[in-house]
Structure 1
Amino acid sequence: MRTTAKITQDNEGARPGEATPAGGETSLRSSEELLAQLDEDQRAVASHLSGPLCVLAGAGTGKTRAITYRIANGVAQGAFVPTQVLAVTFTARAASEMRGRLRDLGVPGVQARTFHAAALRQLSYFWPQAVGGSLPPIAEHKASLVGEASGRLGLGADRLAVRDLAGEIEWAKVSMITADDYVAAASKAGRDGAAGHDLTTIARLLSVYEDVKNERGVIDFEDVLLLTVGILAEREDIARTVRGQYRHFVVDEFQDVSPLQYRLLQLWLGERQELCVVGDASQTIYSFTGASPRYLTQFRRTYPEAVEVRLVRDYRSTPQVVSLANDVLARAGRERSTSSVQLVAQRPSGPPVSFTAYDDDEAEARGIAERVKRLIAHGVRTSEIAILYRTNAQGEAFEQALANAGIGYLVRGGERFFSRREVREAIGLLRGAVRSADADTPMPQTVRDILTSAGWAPQAPATRGAVRERWESLNALVQLADDLATTRGADLAALVAELTERAAEQHAPTVEGVTLASLHAAKGLEWDAVFLAGVSEGLLPISFAETPESVAEERRLLYVGVTRAREHLAISYARARAVGGRASRKPSRFLDGIWPSEEGPARTTDRARRRARAEAVEHALTSGDADPEVFEALRTWRAALASATSKPAYTILHDTTLVAIATAKPQTLRQLAMLRGIGAAKIEAHGAAVLAIVRGEDVPAPEAP
């Protein structure tokens, strides 16, 4: 039996919504309660608590949910001690989110960190014992080090060349390749140097770069891992101490592990096999940095006893988006990895994917801005819209077009949220008010009162520019306060603690504005509406992708872009670069057989969409997933409420939401809030009535306002 609606998967981001004790901690639920919240495949992940486990998780299939529930279930069953679990992620944001989820599940002691953060803690602690003295400072940027090394060799690199040379140095170090071995290793890997310099010159640069670094008495980002590996490999007593601390390991995004990171993981494990890895070979898009999917694809060769679980139910995207994502990979032929998964859509039908060819880049930017405006007019939040492209240079045209249309935007990779002056000042005000805050005043109201003095107002200013950007920053703090009050019952002290942690991890709250980002920067994120721009030959695949391996990675990059969209997906390209230019561009080869004819894509009618949704509801009711009596009781209540309030029934709760409720049968507001279509406002308005209906209780007939 399918359990597609057993629990609405939270798009890797949403959290439960029932209030918890002040301070934000929750009690650990029983193993039965935890497992009941998962689908069949996720339950298999969460139930396997001993020995090696490989989870092949497609985009949007709830992998973070599965592994956090696995940790919580292990603790609930006494198999794991929270402080002895190390969960490794690839971004500080992902680590922060995982810790938050674990706290919400009543497991606050787990260490969830990036490889570098975990290694730095160990290196700082053991350096005095292993080497003596204090750990050398870490250079914030390589540019000056690379620039000086380049100058000593007479290479005369400019800013862009320095960036490329730094990237090649990083590749060599994470691949554990020394200057003496570089020429042979780089040649074997198909690399041709960097910034116009041949392999021999780069090998010399590697050696001089290390000299410059040593003379300055600093280490770089990669040295944190290299030095930790060296200490653990050479000092068995220190390695034994680390292994005594951490007994269970979880590694997310395992397809992105580099040889250096994998070596560190091996040293952490020793002879043990208590390892759970999660990844998706179809999302391998960082090979140029040294990442290798072979550790994921060959995991069962390394660990013959490993259990493999595939997560294929996509809870993020509509069937239209999922179908396109599957098509993009299916056309890869032999390039496709056997570790890839075929996604199965779980959401109701949505709008068709659109394909548009514009005359030139300017027309494409202008056309997308107009479509963004229409989405906003139909109720899509700007923070739920993204424009994605292959290279950062493409972003400028969209910045200009959105500005001309009066639409706010933010460039991912721009100024960091917690570095903004208004944010730093606001956090200072909140921190100063912790002791004097009125315990009887709800925390969100206290935050609003405090931030009003910093320039926040209930209504956004009509103007654009700096004034609006300042308001949006402050409003993001207000929204975070609302979320934490709802999900954890947090007080002001807990909010300040959360902000302090987020600042350290650069885990910014959501800021209203259309996101502009490269496809690489979009990895791990998702939006209701996504515009994939510039999907043409020469841009995707990029012109310098010449080998079969590099072209295959470009295809995976498109797949990542497609799977960022929950509901609306638009793909476009411009026939010419400049206005009046030669129309020589063609759609990407990855869309051969997918891109519609000049007549345009077939349009799904409203009637067809309604029919598809009705069929999905009917399937859930007849397949045994949903309780038909609960569904009918909910629908009767909704009809009475719609009549009393003169509102369309679907605006109260959609049929698909009623099915999810009738399937999961939530008993608490927390469980109810985990279902799609139940936001904080609807919880407040209808939560009590819905829970009463699920329990089989009579609900008073709604009265007209």
Structure 2
Amino acid sequence: MIEEINKATESMGTATKLMSTATKLMSTATKLMSNEVKKIVYRDDQLPIMQYRGGSMAVPAVPGAGKTFIICNLVCEIIKDKVHKPGKILIVTFMNSAVNNFKHRISMVLQNKGINASNDYEVMTIHSLALKILKDRPDVMGVNEEFKILDDVNKSLYLNNCISMWRRKGGEGIFKSMILDKSLNKYSGKQDKWWNDFFTTVDTIIGELKINDISPEKLKENIKSLDNNSILVHISEIYDTYSKILKSEGYIDYNDLLILAYKLLKTDDTVREKLQKKYTFVFEDECQDSNLIEGKILSLISKKSGNLVRVGDVNQSITGTFTASDPKFFREFCGKANNAFKMFMAGRSTNHIIDLANELVEFTNNKHGEEKCRNALVDQKIKSLDDEVETGQDNYGISTMVCNSREEETKKAVRVAMKFKEKFPGKTCAILVPFNNQVREIADMLRSYNVECDELSNKSDKKIKVTSTLGYILKFISNPQDSVIFTDLIKNVFCEEHNEESEKLFGFICSYDVEKLMYPSCGTINELDIPGEILNSKVYKQLISSMDLIKRIFKYPQTHFDRLILYISDVLNFTLENRAMSEAVASYVRFESIENSEFSLAYVAEQLLDGKNSILDYISGIIYDLEGYEPSPDRVTVSTCHKAKGLEWDCVLILNITSYQYPYMTTDKFKDYYYLKDEFKNPTVICRAEIAKILGNNICEDPLKEAKIQIINEKIRLLYVGITRAKEYLILMATQSNEGKWNEDKPSKYFYVLQDYINSQRGVL
């Protein structure tokens, strides 16, 4: 199979050269067209959008169509024509990195046009906008003017603490009563994983309650009719505790921020009219990720002018099953907007990859076995920018692989990625997987072959470095006489290189008295005790300098562990990002110390070195979100498919396209809460159905089956996102094994559909 990939990559050589030549010609043409003010030539599908000067407009766009490009240039044209006067243009997006990108690109376009208009537009996240609205009149909403925003990092700590309090008051027994009898004997081994699932459910449902304006008090009134075994009844207790703690400490979380901003806009004429006058045009990017309240806020601001532009791609909506976002809101807007212009042309990928993505859309729309899944993807096919490119078999850069086990699949993926980098050192490459754990596994394997890589997952290597550094230091402080612990500290934190010299140093440290090393009686270590081969080595000098840092840390009082952690980050001169992680760890330690009889430095160190701490994983996923990440040809990217959204690589390998990861029918085995009793099998879905009942909405007869439909739909879109990340080469991988308990290790139906199409294109019978 490796030979097949080699053949594929070799056969693409001609196409690559042609594309390179075309790129050079295009570059030359661009330079010739440039003058004092750069001239921009818009595509046919972009021209109607650029003519927009008012009203509501929906812009559904395919991957690689240039959404950011068109928004930036349209905003600049409106500014140039002064259509927005006397107000401003508001551009709303969801990531801070996207805000900075928009600001930079708009500034550059205006500069090229010779326009100075920095005060004519504002770019911000939806939460920054909500904060700005609420700060205008917090008193109207009964909020103290000194209110603080609870960011997602501290929110996870507060919420986890509330769950811990509920567990101590009987929640542990309640949770166990939901578990299947045959699974209870696995509880001690799976406890952390299962409680992490419960945390995710609680977090999601509290978000749903807030977005739907259901307060703890309102929820208490409405759950009286529910069975005492209802998960929502138990979550209501946690929700009540969480809300009271936030209120007592003057915090509001991001969901509170959105709902309070919306209520203020809706009820206060002065605030609403002020914003409507200020922002005469409103643009929203990534609209497929909007929730109900976000859409209402932007609709209220733009109501007077009527000038609202929303841009997005429903086919890339991949967060609805675990957030309050829903692509239906963008679909509805597309149906009622004054104008809707599709951007269906894209130049990111080769024609072959575009055709494959379109094949997935075609199959889903017309042939999917579950009729309710036929609208998972909008019939919005990508049209290549260059239909004249030859599409012969010799230039085909797409392959499929079926492996006998996940282990074999992982090894083959690593070998293929390494082979690709050898052949094309100047091109980017990514391996996309479903799980965070697989990201780390594959990254470790690449590093074992001395291949540099970047990890895009919640289990960030940066997080592990920070937590392990703190863990090793605290472990040594808790037991400063142990030479083995001291050796581990030097080896894992302070030694930059591991070689023959360092191994000799570690052997020396391990056999030497720690106190004599750290605090020699004569002021310096007796050089006669030190092996001559390491005395003048680089690693010995590192040891001496590291001991100076350790001594400084030892001098700090150990009465407050959280402060000690922050002091360590200062002494070790952590980066701003790593400092944020250490502050989160300090907060975590502060929360853990509450009513924890086992709390000690050794206990803290054990938690930090665990590597499976779900709360710290969750926190690291927030802090190390890799906003603004740019793939580099020097490094292989290993990512979950979710984290890959918005990025692109020359070569993409998508692993685990199995029926378990990408289910096709509702009768397939799903990655659900298998350990729970049937009546609790999908607690998030059950709670959402009960919330719908409280709101008086229509309730489907079988919410669990409906949830499976939604999961299937989102998984189709996730596969679509993965495919459209590839520019030139794409390798689809799956396993075929009879060892899985539910036979989940078999290729998904989508894999076979795409494989058949690929073979037909390559002329294989």
TM-score class, shorter: 0.5 to 0.7
**Where does 1:38-57 land on structure 2 (aligned, <5 Å)?**
38-57=42-61
| Aligned twin of 2:209 | 172
Distance 1:27 1:167, change over 3 A: farther
Distance 1:118 1:76, change over 3 A: same
String of CA shifts for 1:617-667, please: whole Å, max 9, x gaps.
Answer: xxxxxxxxxxxxxxxxxxxxxxxxxxxxxxxxxxxxxxxxxxxxxxxxxxx
Gaps of 5+ in 2: 1-18, 111-116, 176-194, 366-370, 467-538, 540-573, 576-622, 664-669, 673-703
Distance 1:154 1:402, change over 3 A: same
The counterpart of 2:332, out of the listed 277, 298, 310, is 298
Distance 1:292 1:582 in 2: 31
Distance 1:362 1:416, change over 3 A: closer
Q: Secondary structure at the match of 2:660?
A: coil
| Aligned twin of 2:344 | 312
Distance 1:320 1:184 in 2: 57
CA contact under 8 A between 2:62 and 2:313: conserved in structure 1?
yes
The Cα of 1:523 is off from its aligned counterpart by: 1.4
Q: In the alignment, does 2:105 pair up with 1:101?
A: yes
Distance 1:538 1:184, change over 3 A: farther
| Aligned twin of 2:735 | 574
Q: In the alignment, does 2:85 pair up with 1:72?
A: no
Distance 1:574 1:171 in 2: 37
| Aligned twin of 1:395 | 439
Distance 1:214 1:561, change over 3 A: same
Distance 1:40 1:183 in 2: 56
CA contact under 8 A between 2:61 and 2:343: conserved in structure 1?
yes
Q: In the alignment, does 2:354 pair up with 1:322?
A: yes
CA contact under 8 A between 1:390 and 1:539: conserved in structure 2?
yes
CA contact under 8 A between 2:659 and 2:744: conserved in structure 1?
no
Q: In the alignment, does 2:163 pair up with 1:147?
A: no
The counterpart of 1:208, out of the listed 221, 237, 241, is 241
| Aligned twin of 1:275 | 308
The Cα of 1:416 is off from its aligned counterpart by: 8.4
The counterpart of 2:645, out of the listed 515, 523, 526, is 523
| Aligned twin of 2:417 | 372
Distance 1:155 1:180, change over 3 A: same
Distance 1:238 1:571, change over 3 A: same
Distance 1:587 1:219, change over 3 A: same
Distance 1:263 1:183 in 2: 27
Q: In the alignment, does 2:600 pair up with 1:507?
A: no
Q: Residue 171 of structure 2 aligns to which amino acid in structure 1? A: L
Distance 1:125 1:78 in 2: 28
Distance 1:91 1:410 in 2: 20
Distance 1:144 1:557, change over 3 A: same
String of CA shifts for 1:212-263, please: whole Å, max 9, x gaps.
Answer: 2212321112122122122222221112222222110111121211012112
Q: Residue 520 of structure 1 aligns to which amino acid in structure 2? A: H
| Aligned twin of 1:355 | 400
CA contact under 8 A between 1:587 and 1:595: conserved in structure 2?
no
Q: In the alignment, does 2:420 pair up with 1:407?
A: no
Distance 1:9 1:237 in 2: 54
The Cα of 1:97 is off from its aligned counterpart by: 1.4
After TM superposition, the structure 1 stretch with the greater mean CA deviation from structure 2, 530-539 or 87-96, is 87-96
Distance 1:549 1:338, change over 3 A: closer
Distance 2:755 2:221 in 1: 42
Distance 1:47 1:420, change over 3 A: farther
CA contact under 8 A between 1:47 and 1:73: conserved in structure 2?
no
String of CA shifts for 1:558-582, please: whole Å, max 9, x gaps.
Answer: 111111111111110122498x999
| Aligned twin of 1:345 | 384
Q: Residue 419 of structure 2 aligns to which amino acid in structure 1? A: R
CA contact under 8 A between 2:58 and 2:310: conserved in structure 1?
yes
**Where does 1:216-615 land on structure 2 (aligned, <5 Å)?**
216-288=249-321, 289-303=323-337, 306-333=338-365, 335-336=374-375, 339-347=378-386, 348=389, 349=391, 351-381=396-426, 384-413=428-457, 506-508=627-629, 512-541=634-663, 543-544=671-672, 547-576=708-737, 585-596=745-756, 603=762
After TM superposition, the structure 1 stretch with the greater mean CA deviation from structure 2, 160-169 or 63-72, is 160-169
Q: Secondary structure at the match of 1:72?
A: helix
Q: Residue 103 of structure 2 aligns to which amino acid in structure 1? A: R
CA contact under 8 A between 1:27 and 1:105: conserved in structure 2?
no
CA contact under 8 A between 2:376 and 2:713: conserved in structure 1?
no
CA contact under 8 A between 1:98 and 1:112: conserved in structure 2?
yes
CA contact under 8 A between 1:331 and 1:590: conserved in structure 2?
no
CA contact under 8 A between 2:436 and 2:457: conserved in structure 1?
no
Q: Residue 345 of structure 2 aligns to which amino acid in structure 1? A: R
Q: In the alignment, does 2:121 pair up with 1:133?
A: no
Q: TM-score w.r.t. structure 1 length? A: 0.62
Distance 1:241 1:584 in 2: 57
Q: In the alignment, does 2:276 pair up with 1:116?
A: no
Distance 2:315 2:643 in 1: 16
Q: Residue 161 of structure 2 aligns to which amino acid in structure 1? A: E
CA contact under 8 A between 1:530 and 1:570: conserved in structure 2?
yes
Distance 1:57 1:82 in 2: 30
Distance 1:88 1:362 in 2: 44
The Cα of 1:536 is off from its aligned counterpart by: 0.4
Q: Secondary structure at the match of 1:521?
A: coil
Distance 2:732 2:299 in 1: 42
Distance 1:575 1:340, change over 3 A: same
Distance 2:328 2:742 in 1: 43
Distance 1:581 1:50, change over 3 A: closer
Larger proportion of helix: 2
Q: Secondary structure at the match of 1:336?
A: coil
Q: TM-score w.r.t. structure 2 length? A: 0.58
CA contact under 8 A between 1:243 and 1:269: conserved in structure 2?
yes
Q: Residue 52 of structure 1 aligns to which amino acid in structure 2? A: S
The Cα of 1:203 is off from its aligned counterpart by: 3.1
Rg (Cα) greater in structure: 2
Aligned length: 496
Distance 1:373 1:582, change over 3 A: farther
Q: Secondary structure at the match of 1:310?
A: coil
Q: Secondary structure at the match of 2:148?
A: coil
Q: Secondary structure at the match of 1:202?
A: helix
Q: Secondary structure at the match of 2:397?
A: coil
After TM superposition, the structure 1 stretch with the greater mean CA deviation from structure 2, 133-142 or 222-231, is 133-142
The Cα of 1:128 is off from its aligned counterpart by: 6.8
After TM superposition, the structure 1 stretch with the greater mean CA deviation from structure 2, 72-81 or 248-257, is 72-81
CA contact under 8 A between 1:355 and 1:572: conserved in structure 2?
yes
Distance 1:412 1:381, change over 3 A: farther
